[in-house]
Each structure stands twice: as C-alpha cells, then as structure tokens.
C-alpha cells in the first residue's frame, strides 16, 4: 500500500469494544482525515469523540520517536542497535532464571500480530501477570451463570420491546451502542437506566433508578423477591435453572424494605423495575455496564442482574438477553503467543505493588508493552516505587508515560493506522483488518518487528513465525469465511454466529442449565471518616491515560451531588482535598445534579506526573471473582485545604 493513499480502510486497535472499521483519507495537502466505515455493520459510518482526535495523538509533539536509554536521572536518545543490545544482554543473563523476568502486557494495542511479545516471553518461560484491571469480574460472573461468555448480536436489539441500561455510560464509553439505543427509542422502545447517576445517559433514558454505588445486587434481589412471592416465575424457566430453591429461601430470609434501603431505592423504583422486566413478552434486553463489577462484590452484582433477567423470562430468545461482553478472540485464532510456553509464575496485576515488593526471587527484568501499569494499578505511588526497584525495566510505548519515565530503556512503537493487524471486538462479531496506512514517525517501529529483532539477538535466539502465517492462521476459524486478500481489501468480515445467545435456554454448563447465584453478601456501611465512594469513570475524549499533559492543568475536577452532606462543611469556590487511607490530592469540586449523594465522581487516566492520578487514592483490593481491581469500592472524604 502506498505511504499516503487517498482512501484506505483501517481499524482502531485500541482497547475499546467498538473496534471500529475506519475510512482514512488525505486531502490535497496530504492532511489526513478519519471517519467510521459506513459499510461496517457496527461502526455504521460513525466514530466516537476520542477516535476523532486520533491524529492529535499520532502527530503529538511529545511523541517518542527514537529509542531512549537511561543515563543517570535522564533518558537519552540511542540507536535501536544499542537499545535492543542492552535488552538482549540482560535477558541472556537471566535465561536460566526466567521467573526473574516479568512480562506485563496491557491491552493498549490488540490483534493477532500483537501477540508477539507474549510469544517471546512465554518461549523464555518468563513470569507474567494474572487478574485484570478491566472487565474480568463480570466475565467470571457471567461464566458462573451461563457457563461461558456469550451475548446476542447487537442487531438483535431491534427485536427488543424494552431496554434496561443497567450501568452503561452510553455516550462516554459505548458510542455505537448509544446510536442503536437512540434508534430504538425513536421506534418507541422505552429505556430504563439504572446507575448512581452523574452519567451522560439522559438523552437515552425514559425512566431512571438512581442507586447507591456497589449495591445493584440488592435492587435485583428486591425485584426477584416480589416475583418469587407472587409465584409468577414460569415453570419452564425454573426448570432451566439450578439453585432455585436455595435462591428462594435466601430471598425470603430478607425484608424488602432492607433490600431497598441498602441500595437506596424507593418502592416506586421497584415498580418501575418490575414493569420493565415483566410485561414485555420476555423481550427486555439488558445492557450491563462494567462499573458495577469494579466493586468488591462486583461479580455478585452482575450475577443478581443475570438472575433477574433469567427468572423474568428474558433470556434465551430474540429481543431479550444480557449484554455484558464477549471474548475479542472468539472469532480469530490468536493463540500462537500463548502456545509458546507457560509462565514460570504469575503475579496478580491489581495487587502488583505488593506482589513486586514480596516477589521471591525478586523481579530483575520487566518488559512492559501496551500498558501504563504504574499509573493504572491501585496504590500507584507504591507501585511506582516497587517498579523502580526492579532491576532493569523496558517499556515499549509512544509516549513518556508514568511507566516509561521510570524505565531503563524506552522503545518507540508504531500506533494505530501505522501497524498492521487483524482483531476482533469484545462487543460484536465482526473481525477487522487494521492496515498500516501511514509510516510510523522517526525511528518508531511496529511491536512485531521490535520483538522479532530482539528474539534474533538473544544468545539462544527465539524466532517468530512469519507475519503472513500468523495473519492467515488468525482468520482460519470455523466462524469466518474470508481470505486474507479479501479481508485486506474490505477491511472487515462478519463471523457466522447465531444472533440469539443461549437459544431455547440451553446454557454452556455441562448440565445445560443456568446456575443461579447462591449468596447475597452484605455491603459494608460507609464510615464518617470516609463517607464517599470514589467513582473514577472513563472520559469521553480520551482513552484511559492517553491524554495530553495540557489537558491536566491546575487541579482535576471532581463532582458531588448537590445534596451530598459533605457540602455542609466545604466551600466549593475554593480548592479542596480528596483523602483516602492511601493518599490525598488537591481537587476542584463541582456539583452534579442526579449523582448519588454517597458518590464522588472523577475522570480516570490522570498522570502521576501531573498530580492527577486517582490511583494514588485507591487501595489494592480484589473483586469477589475474576481477580479484578475493585476500584469503586474505595471510599474517600473531601475536606478543606488549610
């Protein structure tokens, strides 16, 4: 492909369920323009706000375009030969002690070729991370219920007669779902939104239930209790479940008023919820957000909502279903990286600050790619120190992130539109071809090429399979019927999958049943010392920490409800301090109508380097299942600056 084509089809390889197919054009002056591919069934010609800004990032003046090597306190430019030579020497020295090598692979870039670093470090038998900063608690919960992670094709929302948006912030994190929901509302389909409020869902909502953060399970349980007592759960649905009698006893052991009190919902909210789930002929579709699973009882929250959808007869046929997410690799074969070997040991990612401190033997070499790990894991200050103490750190990134600043070697990578790959989505069943449309700037190189060269430099070399073999294998799956040539030409291919998940209420467990949740864990009461849940939500304009420094001037803004009790002793025209047992940070406070009074809301992704990183306040705690990071269970207080 020419270096500057007038029109090319590419794809976004960033960590987002949209996984957009993109049309890239250049004007007469060579100025690039990007839009959504109108032929793609999910992208439908539209891209999100952060996507529209991608060239700001590709052409950013602070982009790293040459390898950097540490010299004392500074990082100085170096040749690839020197930088990779240093890495190879360090790896060779640890070749007999691979557990001392740690590979931290984030989801900053995705695809089949993107598995190259996993292939190399698994071949060495290096340590790896386990657990997740993202959606794993909910995935594990869905697996416990349904037996695997399946959902209806988003197109099936056309068959829904009602929609429950249970915690998705549609315009901020799920642009394309918001377009579908908008269409459905135009067609008269009512949408109920359930969240702690303060989100951007008003334009997509007919009715709202505002609940206390982290307590979704109690609201779902209150609705189920009504239905169980009324005896109106259809016998075929009960027959398709295991654990019904236990669930029934569990529900009857609670009072409705206690359940509602815990989630701070009113009896009228319960009526609304029952109306949405009960009277639509089983065609209520539930969109699950990932906020509810970023709590200690996160898996349980998801499981109770699943149970409500199931027992109200809204699972297993067109128009119903629970949309949590699917595996982005279910339609492609990208196993080559994982197949290369087994890690010597695994360290738990959400607890990494502690894991690195306690590692025995210690970690002497770290390779980070696709992650700003120091910034994004809980207890970020502690994590930064623990990372600094690891012997030798290599970070592959395009920017001097909080992680890269602490590295001994920084290797500049190509970014989206500059690297080739094939990738799937965790929201829809289309497979996208990401073309290398523009050459990377300066000396920056594709991750795959960096890893291939490093492998070749080792004293006992590790050779990667040829690129084309990896790409061809990626699409050689039972659900795709497309050649690599066709995929390159068209930009995407739609996998052949049933539109309805668990059709006929046949589930993926060995017994074929839906497994009902078997406990309702109490929610710890808020304390006077830390009376607010800290909700660190996505920003509409940026992906996680991938925002420019000049967007982080002054103090970050946090939002509280107008009826938040903290306001009684806070003057919000003056800077305040957000305090947790782990740290504190100066902030500006604004009020946000509709937000729950027990919440303080803040955009995530701010940097340690600018004092905007919320993870300095958040303790390393795991979710009940899936080893996720329970970010949203962190409680804080707001106080006056003295």
Ligand X SMILES: Nc1nc2c(c(=O)[nH]1)N[C@H]1C(S)=C(S)[C@@H](COP(=O)(O)OP(=O)(O)OC[C@H]3O[C@@H](n4cnc5c(=O)[nH]c(N)nc54)[C@H](O)[C@@H]3O)O[C@H]1N2
- Print the binding letters for residues 24-53 with ligand X: x by CB under 6 A, - otherwise: --------------------------x---
Minimum CB distance to ligand X, residue 203 (Å): 14
Cβ closest to ligand X, residue 137 vs residue 505: 137
Cα separation, 620 vs 340, in Å, equals 31
| Residue range at the interface with Mo ion (CB under 5 A); choices 131-139, 223-231, 293-301, 372-380 | 131-139
Radius of gyration of the chain (CA): 25
| Residue range at the interface with Mo ion (CB under 5 A); choices 130-138, 297-305, 435-443, 630-638 | 130-138
CB 611 within 8 A of CB 380: no
| Residue range at the interface with ligand X (CB under 6 A); choices 37-45, 140-148, 284-292, 490-498 | 284-292
Of 115, 156, 199, 449, the residue at the interface with ligand X (CB under 6 A) is 199
Asked if 194 interacts with ligand X (CB under 6 A), we say: yes
Cα separation, 380 vs 209, in Å, equals 34
Q: Of ligand X, Mo ion, none, which one does residue 168 interact with (CB within 5 to 8 Å by kind)? A: ligand X
Whose CA is closest to 300, among 514, 517, 143?
A: 517
Whose CA is closest to 477, among 325, 330, 337, 336?
A: 330
| Residue range at the interface with Mo ion (CB under 5 A); choices 30-38, 73-81, 132-140, 416-424 | 132-140
Cα separation, 211 vs 25, in Å, equals 45
Of 10, 15, 515, 592, the residue at the interface with ligand X (CB under 6 A) is 15
Cα separation, 629 vs 290, in Å, equals 12
Q: Of ligand X, Mo ion, none, which one does residue 355 interact with (CB within 5 to 8 Å by kind)? A: none
Query: What part of residues 404-423 is at the interface with ligand X (CB under 6 A)?
Result: 413, 415, 419
CB 328 within 8 A of CB 423: yes
Query: What part of residues 206-235 is at the interface with ligand X (CB under 6 A)?
Result: 213-214, 216
Whose CA is closest to 281, among 329, 318, 336, 307?
A: 318
Residues 6+ apart with CB under 8 A from 604: 536, 537, 538, 539, 544, 614
| Residue range at the interface with Mo ion (CB under 5 A); choices 128-136, 238-246, 374-382, 502-510 | 128-136
Query: What part of residues 590-609 is at the interface with ligand X (CB under 6 A)?
Result: 604
Cβ closest to ligand X, residue 127 vs residue 403: 403
Cα separation, 376 vs 404, in Å, equals 13
| Residue range at the interface with ligand X (CB under 6 A); choices 179-187, 274-282, 398-406, 558-566 | 398-406
Cβ closest to Mo ion, residue 46 vs residue 371: 371
Burial (CB < 10 A; 0-12, 13-18, 19+), residue 16, is buried
The reply to whether omega before 361 is within 30° of 0 (cis) is: yes
State the chain's maximal CA–CA distance in angstroms: 73
Tokens 């025995």 locate to 360
Chain centroid to Cα 566, Å, comes to: 31
Minimum CB distance to ligand X, residue 37 (Å): 19
Cα separation, 35 vs 42, in Å, equals 13
Minimum CB distance to ligand X, residue 503 (Å): 27
| Residue range at the interface with ligand X (CB under 6 A); choices 82-90, 269-277, 473-481, 611-619 | 611-619
Q: How many CA atoms lie less than 13 Å away from 559 in the CB half-sphere?
A: 18
Cβ closest to ligand X, residue 264 vs residue 397: 397
* 3-state secondary structure (DSSP) of residue 590: strand
Of 99, 136, 156, 169, the residue at the interface with ligand X (CB under 6 A) is 169
Of 67, 167, 320, 597, the residue at the interface with ligand X (CB under 6 A) is 167
Please give the C-alpha separations between residue 624 and each of 26, 131, 349, 627, 629, in angstroms, as whole numbers: 49, 12, 15, 7, 10
Cβ closest to ligand X, residue 420 vs residue 429: 420
Cα separation, 94 vs 391, in Å, equals 11
Of 184, 294, 393, 452, the residue at the interface with ligand X (CB under 6 A) is 294
Tokens 């915690």 locate to 167
Number of alpha helices (DSSP H) and beta strands (DSSP E) in the chain: 20, 27
Of 68, 104, 128, 134, the residue at the interface with Mo ion (CB under 5 A) is 134
Q: How many residues of this chain bind ligand X (CB under 6 A)?
A: 62
Residues that bind ligand X (CB under 6 A): 15-16, 50, 106-109, 133-135, 166-169, 172-173, 194-196, 198-199, 213-214, 216, 289-292, 294-295, 369-373, 375-376, 396-399, 401, 413, 415, 419, 447, 535-540, 543-546, 604, 614-615, 618, 631-632
Residues that bind Mo ion (CB under 5 A): 134
């Amino acid at each position: 492909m020419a270096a500057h084509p007038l029109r090319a089809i590419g794809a976004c390889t960033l960590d987002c369920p949209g996984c957009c197919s993109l049309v890239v054009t250049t004007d007469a002056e060579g100025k690039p323009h990007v839009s959504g591919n109108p032929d793609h069934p999910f992208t439908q010609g539209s891209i999100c706000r952060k996507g529209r800004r991608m060239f700001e990032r590709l052409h950013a003046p602070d982009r790293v375009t040459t390898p950097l090597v540490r010299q004392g306190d500074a990082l100085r430019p170096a040749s690839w030969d020197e930088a990779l030579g240093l890495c190879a020497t360090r790896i060779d020295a640890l070749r007999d002690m691979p557990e001392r090598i740690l590979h931290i692979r984030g989801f900053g870039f995705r695809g089949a070729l993107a598995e190259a670093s996993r292939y190399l470090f698994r071949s060495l038998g290096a340590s790896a991370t386990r657990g997740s900063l993202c959606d794993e608690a909910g995935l594990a919960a869905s697996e416990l219920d349904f037996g695997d992670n399946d959902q209806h094709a988003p197109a099936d929302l056309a068959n829904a007669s009602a929609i429950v948006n249970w915690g998705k912030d549609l315009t901020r994190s799920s642009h394309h779902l918001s377009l579908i929901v908008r269409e459905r509302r135009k067609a008269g389909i009512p949408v109920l939104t359930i969240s702690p409020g303060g989100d951007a869902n008003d334009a997509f909502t007919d009715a709202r239930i505002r609940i206390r953060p982290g307590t979704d399970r109690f609201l779902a349980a209150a609705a189920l209790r009504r239905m169980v007592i009324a005896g109106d759960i259809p016998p075929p649905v009960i027959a398709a479940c295991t654990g019904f009698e236990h669930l029934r006893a569990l529900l009857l052991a609670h009072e409705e008023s206690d359940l509602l009190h815990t989630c701070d919902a009113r009896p009228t909210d319960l009526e609304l919820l029952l109306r949405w789930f009960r009277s639509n002929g089983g065609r209520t579709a539930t969109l699950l957000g990932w906020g509810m699973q970023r709590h200690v009882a996160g898996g349980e929250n998801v499981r109770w909502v699943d149970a409500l959808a199931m027992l109200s007869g809204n699972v297993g046929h067109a128009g119903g279903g629970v949309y949590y997410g699917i595996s982005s690799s279910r339609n492609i074969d990208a196993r080559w990286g994982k197949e290369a070997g087994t890690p010597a040991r695994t360290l738990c990612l959400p607890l990494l600050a502690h894991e690195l401190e306690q590692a025995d033997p210690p970690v002497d070499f770290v390779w980070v790619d696709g992650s700003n790990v120091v910034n994004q894991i809980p207890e970020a200050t502690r994590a930064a120190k623990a990372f600094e103490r690891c012997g030798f750190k290599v970070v592959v990134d395009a920017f001097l992130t909080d992680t890269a600043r602490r590295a001994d070697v920084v290797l500049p990578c190509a970014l989206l539109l500059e690297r080739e790959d094939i990738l799937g989505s965790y929201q829809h069943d289309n497979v996208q071809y990401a073309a290398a449309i523009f050459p990377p700037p300066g000396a920056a190189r594709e991750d795959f090429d960096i890893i291939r060269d490093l492998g070749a430099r080792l004293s006992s070399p590790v050779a990667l399979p040829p690129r084309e073999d990896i790409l061809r294998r990626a699409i050689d799956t039972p659900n795709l019927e497309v050649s690599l040539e066709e995929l390159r030409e068209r930009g995407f291919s739609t996998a052949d999958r049933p539109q309805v998940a668990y059709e006929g209420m046949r589930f993926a467990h060995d017994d074929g049943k839906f497994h009902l949740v078997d406990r309702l864990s109490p929610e710890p009461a808020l304390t006077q010392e830390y009376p607010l849940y800290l909700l660190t939500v996505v920003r509409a304009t940026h992906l996680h920490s991938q925002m420019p420094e000049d967007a982080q001037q002054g103090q970050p803004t946090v939002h509280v409800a107008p009826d938040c009790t903290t306001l009684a002793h806070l003057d919000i025209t003056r800077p305040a301090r957000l305090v947790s047992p782990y740290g504190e940070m100066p902030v500006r406070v604004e009020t946000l109508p509709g937000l729950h009074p027990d919440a303080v809301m803040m955009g995530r992704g701010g940097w340690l380097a600018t004092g905007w990183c919320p993870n300095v306040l958040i303790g390393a705690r795991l979710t009940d299942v899936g080893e996720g990071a329970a970010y949203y269970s962190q409680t804080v207080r707001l106080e006056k600056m003295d």
